[in-house]
Every structure is written in structure tokens, then in C-alpha cells.
Amino acid sequence: MDLVDRFHQQVGRTPDAVALVDDGHRITYRELDVRANRLAHRLREHGVGAEDVVGSALPRGRQALTGLLAIMKAGGVYLPLDGSYPHDRLAHMVAVSGARLVLGPTGFGVPALQPAGEAALQPAGEAALRPAPEADTDATLPATAPERRSSPDGLLCVIFTSGSTGRPKGIGLPSRTIENVADWAMRVPGPRVCAQFCSLGFDMSLQEIFGTLLAGGSLVTVSEERRKDPFLLLDLLEREKVERLYLSPSFLRQLAGAHLSRPDRPRLALREVIAAGEPLRVTDEVRRFLGEAGAALENQYGPSETHQATANPLPGRPDDWATDPALGTPIPDVTVHLLDDRLRPVEEGEVYIGGRGVARGYVGQPALTAERFVPDPFAGVPGALMYRTGDRAHRTPDGLAFLGRVDDQIKVRGFRVEPAEAEAALAGHPHVKEAAVVARRTPEGAWRLDGYAVGPASAATLRAYLAERLPEHLVPATIQSLDRLPLNQNGKVDRAALPAPGDRHLDTPYTAPRNDQERVLCAIFAEVLDVQQVGVDDEFMDLGGNSLSAARVATRVLGEFGVRLPVSLVFREATVRGLAVAVEDAIVAEIAGLDAAEVEALLTPEKDA
């Protein structure tokens, strides 16, 4: 039985249990199944069958989950498309995957994409397929699932990740890969309330979804706004009594800081937090946060090409947890080897992963597939492959310990990033003669990208150019203009000689703070963004700000001024001058007796609840 068959079994066991909580809507297993069945029949009407790729750009929550299940029920292959990504990137993903259809907010589209907002995922020309957007609730369509042939080896989805060639590459994951991880997630008996926090383009979201639904648990949708605002996420976790939460270590640290900064700390039902996507660092704030919540912490490791490979449920109490815990030991039906360049076992070497979780390879890239997916001499099964990760590790009593990469690949906020992809995009600007992008550690130990360009284009112009071509996590935090790039003796760019971002790499002149409030905010910006000098008119994004650093600013504002600001406000006001006015308004509002929700509504009148 594959994932669809197992989901059908769970529907039969718990038809009236809540499968999904989405913006106040509670959808049962039976209701979700019927909606997905009807949409699957509509997909079948348009020719979707076994191994046909179908893109899904549906909004998070009940629409996206219905679309995912419908594509699988029709026998198709799920391709998640993040609507926040630039049009060119989405078009490339659709073209490379060979998608037959694109499922968007207003119906279906063929892969002839057009730029311009939501229309980027809608069809062009008379050949477009436009069934009603309410296909999943159309009572004229059958409520039962269409017939299909099931196979654990059948392709389930295509997940795109950053590529060193300057273009993202698509990984073909079979059903058995996710089944294996779902079984690991279900090892603790009993239903769980699990947040659907991860991006749908991140393979960890499949573990959230199927590790919950195959066990009869309930998924709680986390909106895009809450995914960027730890205060709003904490409110949701408390209200819906969420017990299991998957997230990146970077956001875990932000969530811990937000929780501990609140005088009215929420009463959480968390039992388990799973950290994945980048190396885990357990800070004192994380220990205190999870200690107060009474939640366990598990460190998971695995590239998208194998999904999860190892797990390390941290033993003992939070005070006993190591700051840099090991990656752990392999989950069932997965093998992990440390090998040298001649594929001989060693105690310290490159990580190779084999077993049930290995992907088919890279879609449409046979040469790259052959390079990274190599014959597994340890499997004892003809044709078995193992994935060469590029990660280095050594063995410890607690399992593998991560040592770094054999190449330049890094993880930024849980996303795999190849600096070469960002560099290629920056070099593509018509006014850039030469470009370089390097990865550097932040004071917290996380990674960020810094860009360098030779040419007359301003940093703001280049940032806007990249934002139209790259997802947020691939846009360099800073961009400096140089007269030339430093070269080494071999004539190559000397990346070690590139200047670290200084305090005044901006195009705007420095304007000093005028009062104590602005001085405190300038100091907060400087500390969070790791710059030496911040003026009141410096733009947050130009200083290297992103969603996680905005959350840190909001947390520090709460600690310094006693007022809670929405994280979105940091982006909207953008400068210390604008944020100081918002802080003053929030202070006055709280003095006037407004509660936290009323203050938030005052500051963000168009906030998406």
C-alpha cells in the first residue's frame, strides 16, 4: 500500500475526526477525502494519470492540502509552486518538471505562464483549461476516489532546490521515501495536533502532513503571516493546543526569544519540537523555552534527495542538552555511511545515504543524477543506489556529528542555498561587469549571503533586480559596490579578501538619532543586523534584514519598550524613524487601556487574520 491507500484506511477508521484546522474552519477526514476525490476526478477529465506532473500554487491550508491529495489520488506527481517566487523561477520549475497542468487559485492552467501577480500561474491562449474553481465541492463529480494502481515506488512529488549552475534543480521523490519518514513520525502512539508550519516547497512539509494524517491526527495551518511572526505563531499554538511542531533551528531561536520576552507567556501544549533543515544550535533561550513548555526536542538530518536520514531525540532535561547536538543515528530502513574518496568506510568522511529513502534522481538531469546517485556496494541488492551528500561528518557515541561541506553549499533559514546561483543572477544585471557572492556566519552562527558587484548600479537597484528573479532566501543580505574584485595568484576571485560589510555600505547618507527612543532602536538594528552604525533613515532590507531578523527586532522592542509590534510592521515602516513613531503610538494605545489584540489591529488595520 502507498500513501493514498493508507490515507483511505485512516479515513475509514476516523471519518468524523478533525483532519485540518484552517483559519477557523475545521474539516473532518471524510470531508477532506470527498473534496480531494472530486478534484481528482476533474484532474482525470483533463488527462492526468500515472506519473503526470501537476503543479500546485494553491494557498496554504485546505486548498493546498486538497490539491496535494487530489493530485496523488489521480495518480499524478505533486509539484509545489510557491506564489511568492519570481515568475521566471516558477516558469523554469514548470518547464523542467514537464508539468501537464498547473493548479492555481482560480482553476487550472497549462504550463504557458505569464508574468504579473497571480496571473503568473494562469494559462495563456485559447487552449487553456479552465474548469470551475469549485471543482472540489462540485456535487456532480463522484465523491469516491478514482481507480488507480498503487506502488510505493511510484513518483510522489518533485521538490526544487538551489543549484550550483545558477538554476534550481528538481528532485523526484517516490512515495516510499515519505512513507518511511511518516512511519518514523508515527512511532509515538496516539493522534497528535501538529502545526503545518513548513513551506510547501520544503520536503519537511510532507512529513508534517502524512506523519499526522496517517495517524489520525489534526493539522493546524500556519498562515504566511504567522510563519514570519513568532508572536502570532505563539498565539496560534496556544489557541489550538498544538502538540507537535516542525521548524528550522533559526526560527526555533526566534520563537524562544519571543516567548521569553512576553510578560503574559502563553500556556502551550507542546510535547515535541522537531528541528531540521540546518545545523541545530541549542541556546539557553531554547532550553528555557522548551523547559517551560515541557516539550522534547529532536534533531533531524537529511537532504531533500533522501528526506530524513537520521534522528537524535535529545535525552534528559533541557539543561542536559548539548549546545551542538549530534545528527543522530539512521532511522529504520535507511543506511548512512562515512566514506573516503575511494568509497572505503572511515570514522570521518563524506556522508553517503542509502536504503528506502533515496530519491530517483534529478528530473531531466541524467548526468547530475549519475554524479550524485551512485551504486551502493553495501546494499547487497543489484541496482541499489546511495546518495552522495557533500556533507562531512565523524562518528560520536550519539551518532554522526556534522563537520561542514565539501563544497560551498549552505543552509539559510532552513533552505538549501548554492551561492553560485545568487552570483549568477547578480552577474546577469546589464550594468554589472563582475559579481561575487560569498557565505558568512552571523553572530548567532547562522549563514547569510553577502554580494559584491563591479559597475554603476546601486545596491537598491541590484536588490530590486534580484528580488524579481530569486526567492527571498537567495537574495544577498548586503550588496557592496567595488571598483574591482580582488584576485589571487591564479587569477581567480580571492573570496577571502572581499571586504566584510561595513557600517556604511548604503546609498543613503547617515542621519543620527534625535532622541533616546531612536537611539535605542538604532542600537537594536545594529545588534540584530550586525552592522556598526545605523542611521534613522537607513532601510531595514538594505541593511540585510529578513523575516527572521525582523522577528528579532520585534522581540527586542518588546523587551526595551514593553510594547508588542507585528513583525510585518518592521518591513512596512522599514526605518528607525518610521518604527519610532509606531512604538510611540503603541505606547500611547496601551496607556489608553487597549489590549494586545486592539493595539495590533490599530497598528495593522489591514492585517490578515
Give the mean model confidence (pLDDT) for residues 581-585: 87
Q: Which CATH class is domain 1-150?
A: alpha beta
Backbone angles phi, psi at 131, to 5 degrees: -70, 170
pLDDT tens column, 269-279: 999 999 998 88
Query: Which CATH superfamily does the domain covering 329-405 fall into?
Result: Luciferase; Domain 3 (2.30.38.10)
Q: Does the fold of domain 516-603 match that of domain 418-497? A: no
Which grid cell is 169? 534543480
Contact 71, 57 (CB under 8 A): no
The predicted pLDDT at position 119 comes to: 37
What is the C-alpha to C-alpha distance for residues 470 and 475, in angstroms, rounded to an integer?
Answer: 6
- Phi/psi of residue 580, nearest 5 degrees: -60, -40
pLDDT tens-digit series, residues 518-542? 999 999 998 888 888 889 998 888 7
Q: Is the pLDDT score of 451 beyond 80?
A: yes
Q: How many CA atoms lie within 13 A of 604 on its CB side?
A: 18
Average pLDDT over the chain reads: 86
Mean pLDDT of 485-489: 86
Domain regions of the chain by residue span: 1-150, 329-405, 418-497, 516-603
pLDDT score at 608: 44
Instruction: Report pLDDT for 591.
Output: 63
For 554-566, write each residue's pLDDT tens digit. Answer: 999 998 988 888 8
More confident residue, 9 or 123: 9
d(CA 87, CA 477): 21
Average pLDDT (186-191) is: 78
Helices (H), 240-390: 249-261, 284-293, 366-372
Cβ neighbors of 158 (< 8 A, separation 6 or more) are: 53, 77, 78, 79, 97, 170, 171, 172, 173, 363
| Per-residue model confidence (pLDDT) at position 101 | 87
Q: Are 437 and 474 in contact (CB under 8 A)?
A: no
Binning pLDDT at 50, 70 and 90, where does residue 598 land?
Answer: low
Residues near 390 by Cβ (< 8 Å), separated by ≥ 6? 350, 405, 406, 407, 409
pLDDT in tens, 396-436: 988 999 998 888 888 887 788 888 899 999 999 999 999 99
At 280, the amino acid letter reads: L
Checking if the pLDDT of 165 tops 80, the result is no
Is residue 32 classed as helix, strand or coil in its secondary structure?
Answer: helix
Helix (H) or strand (E) holding 570, with range, is helix 567-573
pLDDT above 70 (res 459): yes
Residue among 162, 184, 148, 159 at smallest CA distance from 355: 184
Nearest-angstrom CA–CA distance, 183 and 181: 5
576-591 and 596-603 helices, crossing angle to 10°: 140
* CATH entry 1.10.1200.10 includes domain 516-603: yes
Mean pLDDT across 51-64: 91
* Model confidence at 121: pLDDT above 50: no
Q: What is the pLDDT of residue 595?
A: 60
* pLDDT the model gives residue 258: 93
CATH fold of 418-497 reads GMP Synthetase; Chain A, domain 3 (3.30.300)
**Amino acid 133: pLDDT:** 45
> How far apart, in Å, are the Cα atoms of 89 and each of 85, 121, 464, 603?
7, 12, 15, 34
3-state secondary structure at position 108: strand
- pLDDT score for 563: 86
